[in-house]
Amino acid sequence: MKSRARYLSGMYIFSYAAIGALFPLIAQYLSGIGFSGSQIGIITSSSTAIGILSNSFWGGIYHRRRRTKKLIQLLCVATALLSLLMMTVGKFWIFLLLYIIVFFFENPVYPLIDSTIIEVNYPFGTIRKWGAVGFALGIGVAGAVADRFGLLSIFPMFAAFFLLTALLIGIYLKRERAYNQGGWIPQSSEEWDKLKESKKEGSYKDLLHNGKYMALIFSAFFFVGPALSHNTYFSFLYIEVGGTIAGMGIVLLLMVISEAPFMAWSERISSALTMERAILLAMAVSAFRFLWYSTNPSVEFLAATFMLQGIANGIGIVEITKYVAKLAGPAMISLAIPLYTAISSNCGAITCQFFGGIIVESYGGRGVYLFYGLLNLVGVLIYLLFGLYKRKGEAL
């Protein structure tokens, strides 16, 4: 089990380090080769937009291929090799097309790794925390390397991290084959039921007819979208209240790092509160946080309360993924998680980034966070109205 955990943790560290190396610096690179602000915005948002299609597309293939992890390995290698071609392109339309192709392969890697963790029944939060650690690692490594060798280096770093992810998946597959050949058989009737259930087939149509699953997806849309877009607009708020760019970077890094311990503790928190109520707590904290940000708190308060992001995102992201898997059932995990990611993460982030950009021009960071806080409240309302805070069979 410990050996398996090391490989699974490494998948998160290196795959999230890849986006940590690329995303914070890609805009600076594009500006340096002469792209305009609007062109940069189109390119950077295209990676999220294509995820709406690619997550569902590759999730369906993964499901039909009996969840073979070789597909995830293939996606990692394709992402790495294609990303290196971006180093040679200086024309906007060619770069945009190549960027879309790269992220068509890249986007599904994360929900499919999530599916892998849940399928092997390993404590999800314990492993998922390494994604936050990896993202922070990617930021740190990329900043130091790019400062010495130039911004072009972000592409080899991005590729290298994905190749390392593919390598770990390959080692993991060999270990799993050896494990299965060792004669493992289910030890209880419950394990036999899970094994039978996992071999059943289903389709996206089945998920669309699952009322609670769809309610959770739409509730998560109003929670995850603002959570992911917050990193884009926090600098506006921080500078408006008297902060500096350097200070903003430190506070934002602390916020990201604070997610890791809460992801690790999410199992205990959900055991104490129930998973359903732990999600409600995370969503309520997120709504309070963003609405409070809209009152323009001081720089000192923003810095001192960085842990609010850990509570909201660290608990919420982990437990919602587990709840999605629970509502979909073992046979549908490989479809349910990519579809959840496509709607709640990709579509939610695009919506919030688009309207955030419009709002920030007229109302500044304060207006953006008021908008995000209200969206969070809509998510909480949907969560309550559909009784998602209750365990199955529990009375109101």
Mean pLDDT confidence for 272-283: 95
Residue 2 has what pLDDT?
59
Confidence band, pLDDT 50/70/90 cuts, at residue 179: low
* Closest to 319 measured CA to CA, from 361, 290, 282: 282
pLDDT band, residue 293 (cuts 50/70/90)? very high
Closest by alpha carbon to 164, among 21, 49, 267, 308?
Answer: 21
Query: Among 173, 157, 172, which residue's Cα sits nearest to residue 16?
Result: 157
pLDDT in tens, 90-128: 899 999 999 999 999 999 999 999 888 887 777 888 888
pLDDT at 195: 44
Mean pLDDT of the chain: 85
Neighbours of 42 (CB within 10 A): 15
The domains found in the chain, sorted by start residue, are: 2-178 (1.20.1250.20), 204-385 (1.20.1250.20)
- What's residue 286's pLDDT? 96
Q: Has residue 183 got a pLDDT over 50?
A: no
Report whether pLDDT(234) > 80: yes
Question: How much is the average pLDDT of 136-152?
Answer: 86
Give the ranges where 33-90 is alpha helix by DSSP (H): 37-64, 70-85
pLDDT at 182 over 60: no
CB 34 within 8 A of CB 156: no
Highest mean pLDDT: which range of 40-49, 63-72, 188-197, 289-298: 289-298
Q: Give the residue-averaged pLDDT of 206-227.
A: 92
Note whether 299 and 157 are within 8 A (CB). Answer: no
